[in-house]
Chains A and B, each alone.
Chain A
Amino acid sequence: MIYEVSNLAIIIFVFIVGLVLGLSFYFARKTKSAASYYAAGGKIHWAVNGIAFAGDYLSAASFLGICGMIAYSGYDGFLYSIGYLAGWVVALFLVAEPLRKLGKYTFTDALDARFDSRAIKLTAAISTLIVSIFYLIPQMVGAGDLVVPLLGLPHWMGVVIVGSIVIFIVATAGMTSTTYVQFIKGALLVIFSTILTIYILNNGLTLTPNANYHKFDKIAAVVANDTVVSISDSTYVIKTTKVVDKLVFVKLEKNGSNCWYHLNKKDDVANLEEMLDITVLANGDKLYNGAPKTANKFYQVGHLSKIIVDGKEVDKTGPVGPFQFIKTIENSEIVRFSKKGFTDGTDKVTVYYQKVTSGKDVMKPGLLYKLSAAAGATFWDKLNFLSLMLALFLGTSALPHILIRYYTVPSQRAARKSTIVAIAAIGFFYVLTLYMGLGSMINGVLDVESSNMSGPLLAKSIGVGLFSIISAIAFATVLGTVSGLIVASSGAIAHDFIDKYLKVEMTDHGKVKAGKIAAFCVGIFAIVLGILFKGMNVSFLVGLAFAVAASANLPAILFLLFWKKTTAKGIASSIIVGIISSIGIILFSPTMWEKYGLIPKDAPIPLDNPGIISIPLAVLTLVIVSLMTQKDNSTKDFSK
């Protein structure tokens, strides 16, 4: 779709970015030592750190990705909210305090505290780098998606802008400025998401989302053997019929322009329903509903087709409470737009056809993850669901950029308290995601080309002011999270690898300089990846980062803390097996097969989420190798 750029949006965007850069300048003057660069001197107050945790954790995946997933797949998107929050329980009850006690600057420091092992230093640094880069990709993709409507710039420009600003933030003041950027952004995100949710509830549910909402055509048709013989509107000419997975699509021509319709047969009545279609011609030109993009024929979609209140059909509800909102959607019918792709001669066609979905199906799992036999769920579908929920639960407390935040507070008690503040803020935000996602689903705001933009576009339907603020906050969201990731990555390269593993002699000033150079290199790499992965749902990508973290890092952390027989070799080999198995499964998964341009069903491993295989494999490796290398422990003194 075409986005109109507003001056207000640009002003608010520039203000927020200016605020972030100003903070970096302010703290840059105070960042002289390695302790202040990597861990903010360990002097951040627990309340500030708690909200900064939320700012760090509520990344593009949470605000852009989850809202988008709920808007397109209902409750299945909310599963991410539940899993992401549940993961904090592992962090609070098992990891927070002991890790604070063991570590200095990085996650590797904590893992290696008992052993002083070169193998742990190397493998943990590699793992930190890989997990952070997996996490960086979706943030950069989200940043690119945001600048398109906000500033009217192409996707790649957004990625470059975020990359450049973040390199500047991290390279100037490290963890201190990163902390305050995350604190401000975390607080703003929760406040403005609350405002957006209040607006959704106050607006209620309506059959006509807005005055400009496109009324989709419906043409009566006569059908014989899945072929349209004639239609009621004689101004159209029937050109072609395509059957894809039992769905019938018909190309009609009017005034020299082609567009695709979906044949809907119900109770012996056949209708051709207007769709959205994108046709890529042989010469590479793209047509949106038969016309160039500038013709503005590619509409925002998503609406209710039936609203039931107290057993009666109504046109609108007026203001509703939070539970009444959910209950009314459950009793109503929603028109979603499902995607199909096929070829028509030399043209590549993607259509988005109307799919009337019962509210009951929207408000329970099943639209994205097939779970019931009735929906045709296979063993692998169920395993995928289990694997996702396992990775989300175990991934949070294994994310290096989250773990390093424990070293920014002065005590174990502060680490615990800041985790609780984080859980409360993040939990509240995740409840709001359900309302923002459902609000986007039914208010005619969805851009089918970018599920990530559902939340900001909902704000735009309310007013350009709120849209500008929400988008600028979302942009700051990306800045905050990417800053944290780059601090973690630069720590892995400069502190864990160069300083500790290679034992390169450096002054304190030299360590800070090495960290800044590493931050610059990782930032450039992140920009390239952000451009390459354009178009993928950011929450799905973050789900994969969680799986790699849960496989590579969590067994090592938990066994180190709770099993005395754990050895350095056990930890190092478990990290290696976790990384290789999780990434190996991802590379051979149906989603990646589609990314390679192959048929997803032909993927050698029918799993999209690797956790269910890679996590137990890493645990098994750790236990076996540790038991085989018990001699190593007998020579060490663990009394400290």
Chain B
Amino acid sequence: MLHEPTNVIETDNAAPKKAKLGVILFIVYTLIYAGFVMIGLTKPELMGMELMAGQNIAIIYGFGLIVLAIVMGFIYNYFCTKMENKMNKK
């Protein structure tokens, strides 16, 4: 099976920068998620409004939150890997 050989946690010089990036992306996503919840709380009738291609705001925003989480995950991994490769060179 796909086992990796060792289990050693090495020093990670990129950790502070990665943590900062993580916090920024977390705040961005949280604000967008909060926007969805606030629409539901304050203007629920907006959720049923057609936005594009016959789809209402609830569907586009809901699907959007799922897709955005995946896309942001890939972006985060790309930059973290880059930082690790650059800052952890031996």
Contacts and interface: CB of A to CB of B under 8 A. Distances in A.
Contacts of B48: 360-361, 363-364
A364 B47 contact: yes
A430 interface: yes
Nearest to B49: A364
Contacts of B62: 75, 78-79, 81-82
A385 B70 contact: no
Interface of A is mostly: helix
Interface residues of B, number: 50
B26 A94 contact: yes
Nearest to B38: A386
A97 B66 contact: no
A75 B10 CA distance: 46
B56 to A, nearest CB: 6
A423 B69 contact: yes
A43 B4 contact: yes
B26 A89 contact: yes
A417 interface: yes
B72 interface: yes
Interface size of A as a range: 35 or more
Interface in A334-360: 360
Nearest to A95: B22
Contact of A97 (B18, B25, B73, B74): B18
A587 interface: no
A326 B59 contact: yes
Nearest to B29: A89
Interface in A375-416: 377, 382, 385-386, 389, 393, 409-414, 416
A449 B70 CA distance: 36
A386 B45 contact: no
Given A89-B29, A372-B44, A393-B33, A75 B65 contact: no
Contact of A371 (B7, B18, B41): B41
B62 to A, nearest CB: 5
A365 B54 contact: no
A427 interface: yes
A89 B8 CA distance: 26
A44 B4 CA distance: 6
Interface of A: 41-45, 47-48, 75, 78-79, 81-82, 85-86, 88-90, 92-94, 97-98, 100-101, 180, 323-324, 326-327, 330, 360-361, 363-366, 371-372, 374, 377, 382, 385-386, 389, 393, 409-414, 416-417, 419-420, 423-424, 427, 430-431, 562
